[in-house]
Chain A
Amino acid sequence: MNKVGLYLHVPFCGRKCRYCDFYSLEETEKRRAYADKVLSLLPLYRERLGDRAVDTVYIGGGTPSLLSPASLEAILDGIRTQFTLTPDAEITAEANPESLSGEVLAAYRSGGVNRVSLGMQSAHDGELAMLGRIHTAAQTKDAVARAHQAGFENISLDLMYALPDQTADSFFQSVDTAVSYGIQHLSLYCLTLSEKAPLYARKDDLPDEETQRAMYLGAVDRAEKAGLKQYEISNFARPGFASRHNLRYWRREAYLGIGPGAWSYLDGERFGALPSLDRFLRAADPAELIGEREKVDRAVEIEEEIILSLRLTEGLSARRLAALAGEERALAVMDRLAALESAGLTCRTKEGFRLTARGFFVSNRILADLI
């Protein structure tokens, strides 16, 4: 039986970050109602999965650590009792450094969470303030220490780069600092500013693209030297610690999203829940919440196989693509990737081609040419 992943979206933040245009709310009084609603809808979500076992769970947001420890425990309990979890299931919970208290950690622990992902973003307080983050660099260090003490052995940190006025050295310091905390996983996200984000006002102060690329390539190098091997455009891990849940996204595997704004990919269809907490709180059935849908037919599968597998360092397999798209199309795609080899943008793998770090940084252009 095929296994699935579970994503729970917790749409609350202590304060909205200045770069964020994602769905999350600063309000506090509906957090309890949200948790109760999740619990009451879990049986219906579970029905949607039938007999399929869950082998990855990801509690993301937003800021999950803002829910009360009691709510967190109740939700995690609910998930473990309602769904069939495999014994080795990876259960990740995101957290913000300032709100990852001992109580929250205890709730995560007793709820079965075995992987914690912390939004560190930078090792510099000035950069954190500019981003509108409400924690300091010292709080991140403390939070990682607390997580270690609580017994977590799979910790991931997120960093951001290409920030207004940021230098490559400043970013490299953040990378080195993060690595020095003894983590198993690192995500490096290039700042992408939507026009709606308040930080958009600083768009003219962003490092030039040459510098951004130097930041990226330099950070890839540093991470790898520290034993965190790149496995996706923005993700690095020690051997065996790649995020199994995130790999589902890139490997076109099934996942069910719970909560407002969460996406699912099930039974040949991608669908997104409406990004509205109020609608979620009123819903009697998760089916009422579905907004956008997309049928994943063969043509879409082919497109996804190309663009998603090339986000990974395992790359695109000629054999897998040929099985979906036929020999001719697969060969044509491989030819195009081969043509980029001399420019140092792609390289050969046993199965086909992958993008190099340089290639990743211009991957949109490469992918747009392939679909």
Chain B
Amino acid sequence: MDKQIRNFCIIAHIDHGKSTLADRILEATGSVEQREMEEQVLDDMDLERERGITIKARAVSLNYTADDGKEYEFNLIDTPGHVDFNYEVSRSLRACEGAVLVVDATQGIQAQTLANAYLAVDNDLELFPVINKIDLAAAQPEKTRAEIEDVIGIPADHAPLISAKTGLNIHEVLEGIVKYIPAPAETDEKKPLKALIFDSYYDAYRGVIVYFRVFEGALAKGDRIRLMSTGAEFDVTEVGVMRTFGLAPRDRLVAGEVGYLTASIKTLADTRVGDTVTLAENPADEAFPGFQKALPVVFSGIYPADGARYNDLRDALIKLQLNDAALSFEPETSAALGFGFRCGFLGLLHMEVIQERLEREFSLDLITTAPSVIYKLDLTDGSTVMIDNPTDYPAAETIATSYEPVVHASIITPTEFVGGIMDLCQDRRGEFTDMKYITATRAELHYKLPLNEIIYDFFDALKSRSKGYASFDYSQTEYVPSKLVKLDILLNGDVVDALCFIVHADKAYARARRIAEKLKENIPRQLFEIPVQAAVGGRIIARETVKALRKDVLAKCYGGDITRKKKLLEKQKEGKKKMRSLGTVEVPQEAFMAVLKMDE
């Protein structure tokens, strides 16, 4: 192979500087001028930039002339940094030979540093550590270097000390990529094509654009390809490489290269991440192993606050799904909230991201119901059902055994917060597995935690108990038997379907009381007194009362100004429109939100 190629990704814990380093690499290779740099070019979604996290993978090809005088092609593949997208991360990693592991010298190893590093090692990647943020006063570069060696178990004596923010020692990173990231293995170009899809997105003009890595053979414009998981075939209309600002067509791509193709593919569902691309006329014998469809694990009802915007919500979900095949949704009707959608997400972050994008990019006001995991129920008639919607929960007497999903959680924290975090995990029905000291002052805790205990506000609670220092990662593992009950919420005597949920029996009382209090706080006084009740199996276990409105009157009408009075009432009427009428009770959007924030 005449070309020198390095395929790599950058992995890091959130906020350790992954995207900033990517920017510096783009700059240093002349791929982007400083002045046209908006911070963090690679994260091109607003939301990503705001949260400083990468949601979907992106890739870019760069040219670098190294100190040895040779020209290198760098393919930088950006990976999602969050556990919700673990499957996608692993596919992105598969496309690389190595990974630049960024560690923040002020924070050291964190939960996602470890999770990502292990994932990279599992995928046979060479790790090249770099120690970032050494410009900060709190930086402890040598301590960090020792942590990398002790905790991850890889040499770090060669790790450059850098500041991605100021650009310090970026050159060493580039040279390190040349030196420590292996070149792609040499293969015979005449072998049948075998390329791995690691990302794709929908373009309104060209259809689906597929990002892939060629492992064997070659792919040219005009070839007929086959996607091995489905057998679907397409004619390639364009191949090329990704540049910082757009796509650059090429005649063909060969083994070792990373690029894109277009083939008039209409839906993202046809191009699953992890699938293998081969040629229809000369197919590979077998696909890459490990292909799977990403399955949602968290579900929630999403309704437009204004019922008239149901169609807008549907259109928005369809648009988002074009670029996010992992998002699932189907129409759902709630007696309380009207028409909406039951949506499935890969995890919590995914759910939040989708909700925020719906609100921000499509200007929708949403009401979301409490997120639910998938419960497994063995029924007395011998059948088994999977339930992801509390309203579908069968009557208690028909259930033989109920099971809930449990995750393996890893929490890294300064030791001073261990006690508080253990209390939190205990409170969330966690089962302690073990604790290791990473250093004298930092510990890694392992717990088995029910997924339904962490989908509400576990992140927030963890942060508040560790002053923001603890980090958290999890992977879903198994179903375990559990005592579950369905908690019904009643307003003015009527069950509100959108507010009910499934809870562990031991927590039903506490949760019921908290929800009743929250609703009381968030439902404004109305003309009638409103009882707020929580019930399990028809038995009331908590009760609060929203007292009747006492005063709402305009006493005087100055100088015959009837118009002012009418305007006031019109305004009041507008405010009312933002509320949901549940029978005779008006419930504001905030009340639905408040019951989701239990720890406040």
Contacts and interface: CB of A to CB of B under 8 A. Distances in A.
B556 interface: yes
Interface string B379-392: 00000000000000
B303 to A, nearest CB: 23
Interface stretch (B338-346, B480-488, B495-503, B564-572): B564-572
**8 closest cross-chain pairs (CB), A and B:** A209-B550, A368-B572, A190-B555, A263-B560, A364-B552, A209-B551, A365-B552, A368-B573
A264 interface: yes
A304 B562 contact: yes
Of A233, A270, A365, most B-chain CB atoms within 10 Å: A365
Contacts of A369: 576
Contacts of B568: 364
Interface stretch (A118-126, A135-143, A254-262): A254-262
Given A261-B559, A264-B560, A272-B563, A363 B573 contact: no
B553 A362 contact: yes
Given A364-B553, A364-B568, A364-B569, A263 B548 contact: no
Contact of A362 (B549, B557, B561): B549
Given A263-B560, A304-B562, A213 B527 contact: no
A308 interface: yes
Contact of A343 (B527, B555, B556): B527
A9 interface: yes
Given A345-B527, A362-B549, A368 B569 contact: yes
Contact of A255 (B527, B557, B560): B560
25 contacts: A7-B559, A188-B555, A192-B555, A192-B556, A212-B551, A262-B560, A263-B560, A264-B560, A265-B562, A272-B561, A294-B563, A304-B562, A307-B566, A308-B562, A340-B527, A361-B550, A361-B551, A362-B527, A362-B550, A362-B553, A364-B552, A364-B568, A364-B569, A368-B572, A368-B573
A264 B559 CA distance: 9
A371 interface: yes
A8 to B, nearest CB: 10
B138 interface: no
Contact of A363 (B552, B557, B560, B576): B552
B481 to A, nearest CB: 49
Q: Is the interface of A mostly helix, strand, loop or mixed?
A: mixed
A343 to B, nearest CB: 6
Contacts of A263: 559-563
Contacts of A7: 559-560
Contacts of B550: 209-210, 212-213, 361-362
B560 A304 contact: no
A303 interface: yes
A233 B557 CA distance: 11
A360 interface: yes
B531 to A, nearest CB: 14
A190 B555 CA distance: 6
A200 interface: no
A292 B555 contact: no
Interface of A: 7, 9, 22, 60, 188-190, 192, 209-210, 212-213, 233-234, 249, 255, 257, 261-265, 270, 272, 292, 294, 303-304, 307-308, 340, 343, 345, 360-369, 371
Nearest to A262: B559
B566 A304 contact: yes
Interface of B: 526-528, 548-563, 565-566, 568-570, 572-573, 576
Nearest to A61: B559
B297 to A, nearest CB: 43
Nearest to B570: A371
Given A9-B559, A292-B563, A362-B552, 5 more contacts: A361-B550, A362-B550, A364-B568, A364-B569, A371-B570
A278 B383 CA distance: 85
B428 to A, nearest CB: 39
A289 to B, nearest CB: 13
A345 B576 CA distance: 20
Contacts of A265: 560, 562
B553 A60 contact: no
Contact of A368 (B548, B556, B561, B576): B576
A257 B576 contact: no
Nearest to A213: B550
Given A303-B566, A362-B527, A189 B548 contact: no
B553 A257 contact: no
A360 B553 CA distance: 7
A51 to B, nearest CB: 22
Nearest to A366: B527
Contact of A365 (B549, B555, B566): B549
A369 B549 CA distance: 14
A51 B553 CA distance: 38
Contact of B557 (A210, A249, A264, A304): A249
A210 B556 CA distance: 20
Given A361-B550, A368-B569, A233 B560 contact: no
Contacts of B572: 364-365, 368
A188 B563 CA distance: 22
Contact of B548 (A257, A343, A364): A343
A308 B528 CA distance: 23
Nearest to A190: B555
Nearest to A192: B555
Nearest to A307: B569
B563 A270 contact: yes
A93 to B, nearest CB: 15
A365 B527 contact: yes
Given A307-B566, A340-B527, A345-B527, A190 B553 contact: yes
Nearest to A209: B550
A9 B576 CA distance: 35
Nearest to B561: A263
Nearest to A161: B555
B473 to A, nearest CB: 47
A22 B556 CA distance: 12
A42 to B, nearest CB: 18
Contacts of A308: 562
Contacts of B557: 249
A364 B553 CA distance: 5
A303 B576 CA distance: 17
B556 A249 contact: no
B574 to A, nearest CB: 9
A7 to B, nearest CB: 6
B563 A363 contact: no
Contact of A249 (B528, B548, B560, B569): B560
Given A303-B566, A362-B527, A189 B556 contact: yes
